[in-house]
Amino acid sequence: MPALTVKPAGSCKYDMIALGEIMLRLDPGEGRVRCAREFKAWEGGGEYNVARGLRRCFGFKTAVATAFADNDVGRLLEDFVLQGGVDTELIKWVPFDGVGRVVRNGLNFTERGFGVRGAVGIPDRGHTAASQLKPGDFDWDHIFGKLGVRWLHTGGIFAALSDTAPKLVIEAVQKAKQYGTMISYDLNYRPSLWKSIGGQKKAQEVNREIAKYVDVMIGNEEDFTASLGFQVEGADEHLLHIDVTAFKKMIETAVKAYPNFKVTATTLRAARTATINDWAAVCWMDGKFSESRQYPDLEILDRVGGGDSFASGLIYGLMTTGDPQKAVDYGAAHGALAMTTPGDTSMASKGEVEKLMKGGGARVQR
181 Cβ contact partners less than 8 Å away, ≥ 6 residues apart: 7, 144, 149, 150, 151, 152
Q: How many alpha carbons fall within 13 Å on the CB side of residue 28? A: 17
Q: Is residue 281 exposed (0-12), middle (13-18) or buried (19+ Cβ within 10 Å)?
A: buried
Distance between CA atoms of residues 75 and 313, nearest Å: 29
Q: How confident is the model at residue 238 (pLDDT cuts 50, 70, 90)?
A: low
pLDDT at 324: 97
pLDDT at 361: 73
pLDDT at 104: 98
Q: Is residue 74 exposed (0-12), middle (13-18) or buried (19+ Cβ within 10 Å)?
A: buried
Q: pLDDT tens across 76-135, in order?
A: 999 999 999 999 999 999 999 999 999 999 999 999 999 999 999 999 999 999 999 999
Q: pLDDT tens across 84-99, in order?
A: 999 999 999 999 999 9
Give the DSSP letter string of 312-333. HHHHHHHHHT--HHHHHHHHHH
Asked if the model's pLDDT at residue 58 lies above 70, the reply is yes
Q: pLDDT tens across 342-353, in order?
A: 999 999 999 999
Distance between CA atoms of residues 219 and 203, nearest Å: 14
Provide the residue count of the chain.
Answer: 366
CA angle, residues 26, 31, 37, in degrees to nearest 5 = 65
Q: Find out whether 270 and 239 touch, Cβ atoms under 8 Å.
A: yes
3-class SS at 352? helix
Task: Tell how strand 276-285 and strand 288-291 pair up.
Answer: antiparallel
Q: Find out whether 317 and 350 touch, Cβ atoms under 8 Å.
A: no
Q: Find out whether 160 and 131 touch, Cβ atoms under 8 Å.
A: no
Which DSSP letter does residue 3 get?
A: S
Asked if the model's pLDDT at residue 365 lies above 80, the reply is no
Q: Which of 213, 331, 347, 203 is nearest to 279 (CA)?
A: 331
Beta bridge partners of 289: 284
